[in-house]
């Protein structure tokens, strides 16, 4: 006998609401399978995003029973308490429609945090050699696998309180670059992360680190930035 899941899905924009669907429960079913079933069999107008289905692209992130996560890697058996699912768009970003959010502000903040690499070498120079065991290389490597899914950003209550806060992903990116010995934009980057909306706004409770599907620790990177900013301020008073 096939059992059904009761699935509430957000429809519309910010002023929309939940619509309930009955979806057949299947073995090894993911939350993305559930959303796809609804769109293909029950309501073709449902909007959502995904690309890889295997935890590589980060585009399928949504709120699942109140917690942000990748729908393609969230098994129904792990998240559907009592056979019930509530699927909503990510928090802290404007809703375009249904389960799709506008990521513009999220990526603008990467730019504001000086999150792009600036080097000096040309194609004619030798590659820079960076010792894999060096402290800075290990710090950069620890945060480099971010794929920009915004799960951390959606989970951060400081972003909810003050929308100008750069947020965990942009600050994690800044931290990887602060530790990149080849990069020459460190003064601008330090100024960008030291501002009012930068690292000092983080309260270190760690929802970003708890939820990051790549097991990264933006909280630790932000703490590192705080230390560097304080050190630079003390140094400038000498
Ligand atoms: S730090 Fe983790 S949760 Fe945040 S955007 Fe990167 S991969 Fe996603
Ligand atoms: S630790 Fe900082 S960046 Fe992470 S969720 Fe909390 S306030 Fe946001
Ligand atoms: S669809 Fe690419 S991470 Fe889920």
- Three-state DSSP state, 97: strand
Residue 238 has pLDDT above 60, yes or no: no
Q: Which atom of ligand 1 is nearest to the CA of 68?
A: 3
Mean pLDDT of 101-127: 96
- The ligand whose atoms approach the alpha carbon of 200 most closely is 2
Ligand 1 binding pocket (C-beta < 6 A) is: 58, 146-152, 168-169, 172, 212, 214, 216, 218
Residue 1 has pLDDT above 70, yes or no: no
- Three-state DSSP state, 234: helix
CA–chain centroid gap for 221, Å, is 14
Handedness of CA 111, 202, 172, 184 (dihedral sign): positive
CA–chain centroid gap for 173, Å, is 11
What does pLDDT average to over the chain? Answer: 96
Integer Cα distance of 209 and 152 in angstroms: 7
Residue nearest to atom 8 of ligand 1 (CA): 149
pLDDT digits (tens, 9 = 90+) for 215-228: 999 999 999 999 99
List of residues 6+ apart from 36 with CB closer than 8 A: 50
Residue nearest to atom 1 of ligand 3 (CA): 53
Q: State if residue 62 touches ligand 3 by the CB under 6 angstroms criterion.
A: no
List of residues 6+ apart from 6 with CB closer than 8 A: 20, 21, 22, 83, 84, 85
CB atoms within 10 A of CB 124: 5
Q: What is the DSSP letter of 208?
A: H
Residue nearest to atom 4 of ligand 1 (CA): 152
Integer Cα distance of 45 and 64 in angstroms: 20
Residue 233 has pLDDT above 90, yes or no: no
pTM for this entry: 0.95
CA angle 58, 98, 205 (to 5 degrees): 50
Integer Cα distance of 136 and 154 in angstroms: 28
Q: Between 132 and 83, where is the model more confident?
A: 132
- Three-state DSSP state, 7: strand
Q: State if residue 68 touches ligand 2 by the CB under 6 angstroms criterion.
A: no
140: exposed, middle or buried (Cβ count in 10 Å: 0-12, 13-18, 19+): buried
Mutational pocket test of ligand 1: of 151, 159, 173, 207, the residue with most ligand atoms within 8 Å of the beta carbon: 151
The pLDDT of residue 236 is 66
- The ligand whose atoms approach the alpha carbon of 209 most closely is 2
pLDDT digits (tens, 9 = 90+) for 195-216: 889 999 999 999 999 999 999 9
Mean pLDDT of 82-109: 97
């Amino acid at each position: 006998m096939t059992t059904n899941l009761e699935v509430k899905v957000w429809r519309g924009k910010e002023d929309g609401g939940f619509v309930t669907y009955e979806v057949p429960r299947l073995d090894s079913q993911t939350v993305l399978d559930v959303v796809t079933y609804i769109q293909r069999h029950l309501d073709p107008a449902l909007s959502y995003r995904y690309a890889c289905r295997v935890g590589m692209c980060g585009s399928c992130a949504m709120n699942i029973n109140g917690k942000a996560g990748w729908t393609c890697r969230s098994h129904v058996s792990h998240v559907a308490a009592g056979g019930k699912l509530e699927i909503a768009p990510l928090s802290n970003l404007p809703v375009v429609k249904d389960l799709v959010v506008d990521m513009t502000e999220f990526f603008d903040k990467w730019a504001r945090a000086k999150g792009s690499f600036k080097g000096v070498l040309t194609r004619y120079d030798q590659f820079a050699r960076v010792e894999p065991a060096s402290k800075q290389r290990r710090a950069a490597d620890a945060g480099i696998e971010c794929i920009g899914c915004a799960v951390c950003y959606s989970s951060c209550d400081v972003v909810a309180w003050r929308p100008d806060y750069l947020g965990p992903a942009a600050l994690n990116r800044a931290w990887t670059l602060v530790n990149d010995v080849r990069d020459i934009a460190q003064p601008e980057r330090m100024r960008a992360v030291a501002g009012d909306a930068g690292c000092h706004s983080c309260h270190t409770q760690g929802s970003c680190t708890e939820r990051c599907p790549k097991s990264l620790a933006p909280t630790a990177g932000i703490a590192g930035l705080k230390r560097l900013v304080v050190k630079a301020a003390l140094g400038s008073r000498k």
